[in-house]
Amino acid sequence: MGKPFPSCNDATFSLACRAIFDLQELAQRISQTETGSVGINFPSSTVARILVGLSGGVDSSVAAALLVEQGHEVVGAYMKNWVNDEGIPGECPWEQDIRDALAVAQKIGIEFRVIDLVEKYRARIVNYLIEGYRAGCTPNPDVLCNREMKFGVFLDYALEQGFEYVATGHYARRLDTPQGSFILRGRDPNKDQSYFLSLMRPAQIAKAMFPLGDLLKPEVRALADKYGLPTAHKKDSQGICFIGQVKMSDFLRHYLPDKPGKIVDTEGRILGTHNGLHLFTMGQRKGHGVASPREGVAYVVVGKDVKRNQLILGYEETSTQGLYASHAVVGGISNTLLPLPSRIMAQPRYRAKAEWAACEYLEEGKVRLSFDVPLRALAVGQVCAFYDGGKLLGGGFFESIES
């Protein structure tokens, strides 16, 4: 077993990274059966009062239209989570998004609201993002946003207002059983977004609706045309959760000043300089400015030494120390209705393939994973989602990585 890379338990990381993990509350573990139903989760004769998060995009627009067509009492609401009033470069089109969401609500004949959550978003998401990068971790604001915002404060608002459920345009499904609810992967393998829901708690899942879960993206576009929705041909957003088309590097530079340091190889030889460890991610091939002396074999980021403020590069090879991991500790686990089994499928990032791993509990809410196949470019602070086939079992944060 190789030497572990710095973990969030090390002194260098402890204060800021613990702020990430301290947000986590362990989900209650109860007995679970495998029988259940999948879908919108209502008998055809049942009408529910549902608050739909209308983002101004086509997915949430179609989700709302489907629920209206099914006869539910639907209200649309735009979550105003961010206003770019600090001069950060990039477009933050929240005003246009509100206009688009309003146009959709008018088209399908539902009430529309704008809910100002800017301060709560800053406290729960922006601070988590900044402090994570400051500590050398790799936070995932989109995953935390779903638990803390959409199905956190937004769901709390919905329940206070007398709604029974919150619906979103996620490509995921819900499995209901007598003892609780699970999330399943969406039918569309190219759009499945269950990974982003991996930190949700059981009580949140029970109040979540995903009307698009059984649809393919082209089918959603076709339905938007069928309903005549103003967002039918609007491009999908690609920015940070609710921040818009702001580059992560520009966003971070606004809050974290450049902190120049050395770039070194795995033997400690100096290769160049960098402007801040927070501007780089594990496995990154471009942007570090160091050309590889070996033709056809790139230099990639294989580590960050926060104490020395050094960026570590190595060759893109399976034998390079730090690039591939055989073991990892995942903490802050949430969502699980059952203790995780001894064999699980672990997905370390959104577009990564879920891989088999042995799973051993170290303590409640913390496990050690031993991967069947070493995984590339894992990073402390990343979210790891756990699956049993297409069923999401939960998720947590990488606390330490072992080569």
Q: Which residues are catalytic?
A: 145, 241
What number of other Cβ atoms are within 10 A of residue 149's Cβ? Answer: 22
| Pair 300, 311: CB distance under 8 Å | no
Distance CA 107, CA 227 (A): 9
Instruction: Please tell me what DSSP assigns to residue 341.
Output: P
For residue 367, give Cα distances in angstroms to 136, 340, 362.
22, 9, 5
